[in-house]
Amino acid sequence: MYRIQLPKVILWIGLSGFWPSAFPLATPDDWQSLNETIGGRLQAGVLVSQPCFLVVNGQHVSVNQTACAEVQQNYHSPLFRVSNYGAWMQPQWETCQRTGEQCLLDSTTPTDPLAWTAYDCSQGSISPYYIEVQNVSDVQVAFRFTSTTGVPLSIKNTGHDYKGRAGAKGSLALWISYNATFTPEGCTTSYNAMTLGAGVGWQDAYQFADKHNVTIVCGYHQTVGSSGGWVMGGGHSILSPNYGLGIDRVLQFKIVTPDGIYRTANDRENPDLFWALRGGGGGTFGIVMETTHRVEPAVTLQVADITFNATSTNMLSWLEVVTNHSLEWGRDGWGGHIAGPSLIHVTPKLSLSEALESMAPAIEYALSQNGTAVIETLTWWRFFQKYVTGAQAAVGTGNILGTRLMPISLFETTEGRAQIMNVLSIILDYANQYIVAGTPLLYDYKNGSTSATPAWRNSLWLMSFHMVINFNDTLAVKQQKYRLVTNVTQHMRDISPGSGAYFNEGDVYEPNHETSYWGPNYPQLVQVKEKYDPEHLLDCWQCVGWRGADDSRYSCYV
Ligand SMILES: Cc1cc2nc3c(=O)[nH]c(=O)nc-3n(C[C@H](O)[C@H](O)[C@H](O)COP(=O)(O)OP(=O)(O)OC[C@H]3O[C@@H](n4cnc5c(N)ncnc54)[C@H](O)[C@@H]3O)c2cc1C
Ligand SMILES: *[C@@H]1O[C@H](CO)[C@@H](O)[C@H](O)[C@H]1NC(C)=O
Ligand SMILES: *[C@@H]1O[C@H](CO)[C@@H](O)[C@H](O)[C@H]1NC(C)=O
Ligand SMILES: *[C@@H]1O[C@H](CO)[C@@H](O)[C@H](O)[C@H]1NC(C)=O
Ligand SMILES: *[C@@H]1O[C@H](CO)[C@@H](O)[C@H](O)[C@H]1NC(C)=O
Ligand SMILES: *[C@@H]1O[C@H](CO)[C@@H](O)[C@H](O)[C@H]1NC(C)=O
Ligand SMILES: *[C@@H]1O[C@H](CO)[C@@H](O)[C@H](O)[C@H]1NC(C)=O
Ligand SMILES: *[C@@H]1O[C@H](CO)[C@@H](O)[C@H](O)[C@H]1NC(C)=O
Ligand SMILES: *[C@@H]1O[C@H](CO)[C@@H](O)[C@H](O)[C@H]1NC(C)=O
Ligand SMILES: *[C@@H]1O[C@H](CO)[C@@H](O)[C@H](O)[C@H]1NC(C)=O
Ligand SMILES: *[C@@H]1O[C@H](CO)[C@@H](O)[C@H](O)[C@H]1NC(C)=O
Ligand SMILES: *[C@@H]1O[C@H](CO)[C@@H](O)[C@H](O)[C@H]1NC(C)=O
């Protein structure tokens, strides 16, 4: 599958039903005048699965079979989800998890009628109103509105966030919608950079770069945004071992800060903001309208695709091979993902025969299990099309993550590797491991140039654990799953004191999140937050300057 371009499903819902309760802070006149200010472009947030339901926000409606079938067929399609304001990649964030207000299909079988017979459809965490951002003045209008009315503001780009930060129940939302028809600037041989509008996703950025014979460093998926949460929160790529994180490669942001000023942030202009935006996280300092990324001359990669069928007995010895050899693989320039019984890695540093030799232990193991191993040479774009679109993380299924940056030092000793194996065996009791070999191992980092935790610079893996959350899980079950993720992640924390976690892929209930995500950079980040957003018009869960879970914005967290 390459691209499915489906028409946007836009259904209008009656406003009167939830106007007063959803917006105690703004009057109907306020909304109408907001709508007039932006030329009638205020839109109603429609839940993606709504066409399948008979009761929507308390009102009886008729089911639209055509639209419902479309949602069912595309429930797991990132390209479908990214084109809908009312769809999140992890559907639990469309709901109000604490109250159970939801409008979900059964992600294991989207045609399962239980989803719409046992439940009504309700607005959940999808904003009743949103503005599809066209330009800077839309953002300025939204900041003014939120400042005068007190209605919270949320910012959604692609809706990939694992921690629910792209929405807030009852908020006015700014949607930076997916835009495949962008015109990057500055991509010439004399100036090796690409400027991307905020709506540009990775797949389109890669394709454009390929056409211009350069390689841009973004992540392992089609539709995550190049200029949003990913790059502000750190941004790992399987090319990061050689070329650095997203935050290492961005040269400039253009951003509307909460005072309404459109600013440029780079090494010379607003350098404090530039530093904070490189690791301090999305949704915190302003709305980024575009980013400029350094690009590399087109890279040629050796690709390793190694896989076998897991049994009840062969996973631990596989993980032992992987744990024993990951550090030398990292030094050979390999970056990639190790998900369950499969490894997909790339390196620009080796020749084909060197790559075969370097990966020999993994190849031998997979073959001993009657698996398969392919080592081949591809450009980044060929690699992306052939491997990533089929192996990228699933969407359309509720997911809870916990991660930890695993220090290089653990891989250097027998004892350290045994500790890693012990944690991996605990993880395997619940789910397959997911290991990202995407830390900037070989990258020549200038100390202090970015604000994400320095633990990235001393780590080899981002290790992660995840649990699936179902459409019909009760509140008690959801709470238990989140707790379990925190507990299993704790085993990773226990063997890596002083390390950290990835802000974008952290435990929703990360203990001491300030230290985990930012380490010694946190106090300075708070100063930048207070300077540019003293009124806290932008706040999100465990973000810089977070004032705790009590805010009504967080009423849907369990
Ligand atoms: C399937 C999948 C694959 C992934 N793969 C990778 C990967 O390979 N590497 C990696 O590092 N991460 C990966 N991630 C994690 C990803 O980095 C985060 O989900 C990230 O938050 C997505 O950012 P977004 O802007 O696309 O999404 P959103 O969910 O829309 O936004 C995320 C956060 O950023 C804020 N934000 C978005 N746009 C702006 C803007 N223009 N200005 C200000 N704030 C903004 C939002 O308010 C929200 O707080 C993946 C996630 C998923 C679901
Ligand atoms: C905003 O105004 C336009 C034009 O008057 C109207 O069509 C639209 O329904 C309004 N939006 C909302 C959310 O009411
Ligand atoms: C039902 O959905 C289809 C496809 O999304 C749309 O074209 C059609 O107008 C909808 N019908 C009604 C009655 O809303
Ligand atoms: C922003 O976009 C809107 C809608 O396209 C348009 O009406 C408005 O004039 C634009 N404003 C600026 C400053 O370009
Ligand atoms: C997409 O981006 C281009 C600028 O790169 C802009 O001209 C166009 O209006 C955008 N389209 C949408 C739908 O936002
Ligand atoms: C890219 O490289 C190819 C082959 O070397 C060349 O034909 C083409 O003109 C180049 N394209 C650009 C945009 O530089
Ligand atoms: C991993 O390394 C340890 C020694 O550190 C060794 O005992 C073990 O046999 C190795 N396992 C594999 C599968 O390579
Ligand atoms: C691999 O296949 C051979 C031949 O079918 C079989 O005998 C052997 O048991 C298999 N090995 C494993 C580990 O599955
Ligand atoms: C896994 O097993 C299935 C069914 O026996 C087989 O078709 C497939 O090729 C195997 N995959 C690998 C990677 O060994
Ligand atoms: C980076 O700089 C900080 C602050 O100046 C210092 O404490 C730290 O030791 C430096 N780290 C490295 C690896 O040089
Ligand atoms: C949830 O739904 C699935 C699929 O319909 C069903 O098998 C399961 O029993 C349900 N679980 C609960 C707790 O209702
Ligand atoms: C998590 O750990 C705590 C403390 O060890 C324990 O009380 C709790 O039962 C555990 N919860 C789950 C869901 O594993």
Residue 213 Cα: closest atom of ligand 6: 1
C-alpha distances in angstroms, 336 versus 115, 306, 346? Answer: 37, 11, 6
Exposed/middle/buried for residue 266 (C-beta within 10 Å: 0-12, 13-18, 19+): middle
User: What is the 147 CA–ligand 4 centroid distance (Å)?
Assistant: 21
> In the beta sheet, which residues pair with residue 185?
195
Q: In the numeric block, which tokens belong to residue 88?
A: 């999140």
User: What is the 225 CA–ligand 1 centroid distance (Å)?
Assistant: 6
Whether the CB-CB separation of 174 and 168 falls below 8 Å is answered with: no
Residue 470 Cα: closest atom of ligand 11: 1
Q: Atom 9 of ligand 4 has which residue's CA nearest to it? A: 137
Q: Atom 8 of ligand 11 has which residue's CA nearest to it? A: 472
Convert the pLDDT of each residue in 404-437 to its tens digit: 999 999 999 999 999 999 999 999 999 999 999 9
Three-class SS state of 398: strand
Taking residue 378's Cβ as centre, other Cβ atoms within 10 Å add up to 16
Instruction: In whole angstroms, give the CA distance from residue 369 to residue 553.
Output: 50
Q: Give the position of tokens 């006015």.
A: 172
Whether the CB-CB separation of 475 and 456 falls below 8 Å is answered with: no
Ligand approaching nearest to the C-alpha of 447: 10
User: What is the 155 CA–ligand 1 centroid distance (Å)?
Assistant: 11
Taking residue 24's Cβ as centre, other Cβ atoms within 10 Å add up to 11
Query: What domains, with CATH codes, occur in the chain?
Result: 10-156 (no CATH), 175-298+520-554 (3.30.465.10), 300-514 (3.40.462.20)
Q: Give the position of tokens 């910012």.
A: 155
Q: In the numeric block, which tokens belong to residue 423?
A: 């944690």
Q: In the numeric block, which tokens belong to residue 178?
A: 């997916």
Residue 481 Cα: closest atom of ligand 12: 13
In sequence order, which residues have a C-beta less than 8 Å from that of residue 483 and are 6 or more positions away? 509
Convert the pLDDT of each residue in 313-326 to its tens digit: 999 999 999 999 99
Residues in the chain, total: 558
- Grouped pLDDT means (10 residues each) for the chain, 558 residues: 23 34 74 97 97 97 97 98 97 97 98 97 97 95 96 97 96 85 48 86 93 94 96 98 98 96 95 98 97 94 98 96 98 98 98 98 98 98 97 95 98 98 97 96 98 98 97 98 98 98 98 98 98 97 96 94
Measured on CA atoms in the order 175, 177, 183, 188, is the torsion positive or negative? positive
Residue 41 Cα: closest atom of ligand 2: 1
Instruction: In whole angstroms, give the CA distance from residue 557 to residue 479.
Output: 10
**Is 370 close to ligand 8, i.e. is its CB under 6 Å away?**
yes
* Count helices and strands in the chain by DSSP H and E runs: 21, 20
Task: Report the b/e string of 180-192 with b at 16+ CB within 10 A.
Answer: bebebeebeeeeb
Quote the Cα angle for 322-328-332, to 5°.
115
- Report which secondary-structure segment, H or E, holds 361: helix 360-368
User: What is the 308 CA–ligand 9 centroid distance (Å)?
Assistant: 7
Q: What end-to-end distance do the CA atoms of the chain give, in Å?
A: 36
pTM of the entire predicted model: 0.94
Phi, psi of 50 (to 5 degrees): -50, -35
Q: Atom 13 of ligand 2 has which residue's CA nearest to it? A: 43
User: What is the 552 CA–ligand 2 centroid distance (Å)?
Assistant: 27
Q: In the numeric block, which tokens belong to residue 426?
A: 């605990």
Q: What is the pLDDT of residue 178?
A: 74
Residue 309 Cα: closest atom of ligand 8: 14
